[in-house]
Amino acid sequence: MSEPLRLFLAVYPPSELKPALSRLAVGLQQDCGGRPVAPEALHLTLAFLGDTAAERLPALQAALAALKFAPFTLCLARLARWDNGVVWLGLAQDSPALAELAQAVRTALEQAGLGFDRKRFTPHLTLLRRSVRAVPATVTAAFEWTVRDFALVQSQPGQAGSSYRDLARFAASA
């Protein structure tokens, strides 16, 4: 059997928003410490599978390719910090379309017999890791984009943190 792959499913911000998101992360580093996530690695996780046998990839891809969802708009405008040092950008308000997509993805994984982290879905886009101070109330942000696809991503640990590689993209159907 080959080495397992560390996998997760994520929505990416469009490339035109990445410079501004990255500037926000670098600016927040001044206030909160820690390490900004690189622009190309910015994402919002729908489900985390963790170590998955490479042999399961065809079943995983088939299950995700069969999933139908319509494009939807996402508004991120809430900055917060968790005790684990993650500073993140969250939803301006609940997004039923995002919650439905995350639920559909999780149901598809379950039906395909694939393991995943069953912690409650908390939509967040990580901006900083290992921060040590709270986000000042004076820092605000607002980002909006249309989600048209999601990605199956492989996480590879490295000395400078994990790097991510897209294995597949799954497009909205309308």
Q: Is 124 a catalytic residue?
A: yes
The token duo for 89 is: 């950008």
Minimum distance from CB of 86 to ligand 2AM (Å)?
5
- Total chain residues near ligand 2AM (CB under 6 A): 7
Q: Is 43 a catalytic residue?
A: yes
Is residue 131 involved in binding ligand 2AM (CB under 6 A)? no
* Binding-site string for ligand 2AM from residue 25 to residue 64, where x marks contact by CB under 6 A and - marks none: --------------------x--x----------------
Closest CA to 109 of 49, 160, 45, 172: 49
Q: What are the Cα distances from residue 9, in Å, to 31, 128, 138?
A: 30, 20, 32
Closest CA to 89 of 47, 46, 50, 122: 122
Q: What are the Cα distances from residue 35, in Å, to 38, 75, 128, 129?
A: 9, 24, 5, 5
Minimum distance from CB of 108 to ligand 2AM (Å)?
17
Which active-site residues does the annotation give?
43, 124
For ligand 2AM, the binding residues (CB under 6 A) are 8, 45, 48, 86, 117, 126, 155
